[in-house]
Amino acid sequence: MPNVPLVDAHLHLWDPSRFRLSWLDGNFVLDRPYGLVDYATATGGVDVAAMVYLQTEVETPYALLEARWADAQAAEDPRLQGVVAWAPMEHGDRACVFLDELAATTPHLKGIRRIIQFEPDLDFCLRPDFVRGIQLLPDYGLSFDLCIAHQHLPNTIELVRRCPDVSFVLDHIAKPDIRDGAYEPWATQIGELAALPNVWCKISGVVTEANHATWTTEAIAPFVWRALEVFGEDRVMFGGDWPVVLQAASYRRWVEALDTLTADLSNDARRKLWADNARRFYRLPDPS
């Protein structure tokens, strides 16, 4: 186990009876409520000091309600210190109306995530209105979570270049095809993305891109190590991706695997990965 209290930079909570989440339909592992009590049980034996909530792809009419509901969870568990909400960034300047409402009603708001990976058009993230929407975020003091699959990397690199004032964090190391061992061109492209100084990376969602039933620490190692190598110790952070991770591993097993893979890092580098960098990127309260 990590030797510091960790910050989980990627937590989901949901209740399908409250908000419609059509992507859960038919998923026998995920299509059920997952709340703070469940998370506390799942993380038993792991010292979690703080969490950041990530939007869960509720149907669009519920998006503002989801953000307010997530924010209210902090009253139940003060370790929930940040919320990353959905917003219609593809609406360009008109997204300001939505962002204004989010900012006014979500005290723990830290960033926005508008998922790109499900868009069939690989050029979606380079549409002028989408780029303009992303460029608005510094005016609100908000970051942007890049949730993409590996095939979106070339255009994501260009998006980041067009938004040099925006703080980005890459979710799930860009979802490489670990199941089939497809290291390239992902490895080269993630290096190109990491060369842009305003992008950070979550070491998260890795085991769900491997074979859910047979993955090993050795199988995911090259992908984790590549992300750590190119982003460096100051721009990487741990994410549990609970409960999505349950399709491939328990929370504890994922933490143990990453702990093993990073055992040779310096104490400072490990502290940054497990806690400090997430606090810095998402502007979370100082634990002291």
pLDDT in tens, 143-169: 999 999 999 999 999 999 999 999 999
Specify the pLDDT at position 3: 85
Nearest alpha carbon to residue 217 among 244, 186, 178: 178
In a domain, 48, yes or no: yes
DSSP 35-89: -HHHHHHHTTTS-EEEEEEE-----GGGHHHHHHHHHHGGGT-TTEEEEEE---G
Specify the pLDDT at position 218: 97
In a domain, 93, yes or no: yes
C-alpha span between 58 and 230 (Å, rounded): 33
Strand 80-85 vs strand 199-203: parallel, antiparallel, or unpaired? Answer: unpaired
Sign for the CA dihedral angle at 102, 95, 117, 164 comes to negative
Nearest alpha carbon to residue 198 among 143, 254, 128: 143
Sign for the CA dihedral angle at 265, 80, 87, 38 comes to positive
Is there a contact between 257 and 249 (Cβ–Cβ < 8 Å)? yes
C-alpha span between 111 and 67 (Å, rounded): 11
Taking the model in full, what pTM does it have? 0.97
With residues binned 3-state (H G I as helix, E B as strand, rest as coil), the percentages for the chain, rounded to 5, are 45, 15, 40
Residue 57 CB neighbour total at 10 angstroms: 20
In a domain, 49, yes or no: yes
Domains held by the chain: number: 1
Residues spanned by the domain of 188: 6-282
State the amino acid at position 96 in one-letter form: C
Residue 5 CB neighbour total at 10 angstroms: 14
Which residues of the chain fall short of a pLDDT of 70? 288
Indicate which CATH number applies to the domain containing 109.
3.20.20.140
In a domain, 109, yes or no: yes
In a domain, 288, yes or no: no
In a domain, 287, yes or no: no
C-alpha span between 133 and 87 (Å, rounded): 9
Is there a contact between 132 and 166 (Cβ–Cβ < 8 Å)? no
Q: Is 162 exposed, middle or buried (0-12, 13-18, 19+ CB in 10 A)?
A: middle
In a domain, 1, yes or no: no
Residue 123 CB neighbour total at 10 angstroms: 11
